[in-house]
């Protein structure tokens, strides 16, 4: 999926869109996407400017956004103004190496289970084939009251 297709499957926009390309997606199973990390990211201005490191919370958010794309593809839906896909939990998060400008952050997410609107995923972020972060994520689709 290119950026135009990603924009159809995520409600996020700049500067909070953290998925640049989807390499492979198997609805109901898994997704492989990536984010190109550049020095132009707005968070690098304030997050250790003398030694720029991508914040771990944004690595988790990038994984959650990849999970969102996977979920929408699995449901055969696209985001709407009537609902939102919330990030509702992180378990067993581990950060193994810093992510720096110039890295390509590969996002690997697989569905563990889906029950009563709650989705559970196993997520892993890699740079140059090495795991830099991992976690078990939970997301939930909720209707927006208008």
Q: What is the pLDDT of residues 56-104, one digit of tens each?
A: 999 999 999 999 999 999 999 998 888 888 899 999 999 999 999 999 9
Task: Report whether pLDDT(131) > 90.
Answer: yes
Average pLDDT, the chain: 95
User: What is the Cα–Cα distance from 109 to 117, expressed in whole angstroms?
Assistant: 18
- pLDDT tens for 38-60 read 999 999 988 898 999 999 999 99
Catalytic residue among 4, 9, 12, 47: 47
Number of domains in the chain: 1
pLDDT interval class at 37 (50, 70, 90) = very high
pLDDT value, residue 117? 86
Residues 6+ away with beta carbon under 8 Å from 85: 11, 68, 71, 72, 79, 139, 140, 141, 142
What predicted TM-score, i.e. pTM, was given to this entire model?
Answer: 0.95
Task: Report whether pLDDT(145) > 80.
Answer: no
pLDDT value, residue 128? 98
Give catalytic status of residue 47 as yes or no.
Answer: yes
**C-alpha dist (Å) from residue 75 to 6, 27, 117, 130:** 15, 8, 11, 31
**CATH, residue 125:** 3.10.129.10
User: What is the Cα–Cα distance from 146 to 104, expressed in whole angstroms?
Assistant: 39
Give the up-direction half-sphere exposure of residue 82: CA atoms within 13 A in the CB hemisphere: 2
pLDDT value, residue 123? 98
The pair phi, psi for residue 70, each rounded to 5°, is: -60, -45
The more confident residue out of 117 and 111 is 111
Nearest Cα neighbor of 143 from 97, 72, 83 is 83
Residue ranges making up the domain that contains 10: 3-143
pLDDT interval class at 106 (50, 70, 90) = very high
């Amino acid at each position: 999926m290119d950026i135009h297709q990603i924009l159809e499957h995520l409600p996020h926009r700049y500067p909070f869109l953290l998925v640049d390309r989807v390499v492979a997606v198997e609805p109901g199973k898994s997704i492989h996407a990536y984010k190109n990390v550049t020095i132009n990211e707005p968070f690098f201005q304030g997050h250790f400017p003398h030694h720029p490191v991508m914040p771990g919370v944004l690595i988790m958010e990038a994984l959650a956004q990849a999970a969102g794309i996977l979920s929408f593809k699995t449901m055969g839906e696209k985001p709407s103004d009537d609902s939102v896909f919330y990030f509702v939990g992180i378990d067993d998060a581990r950060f193994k190496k810093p992510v720096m400008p110039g890295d390509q952050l590969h996002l690997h997410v697989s569905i563990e289970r889906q029950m009563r609107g709650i989705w559970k995923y196993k997520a892993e972020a890699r740079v140059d084939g090495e795991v830099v972060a991992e976690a078990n994520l939970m997301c939930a689709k909720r209707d927006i009251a208008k």
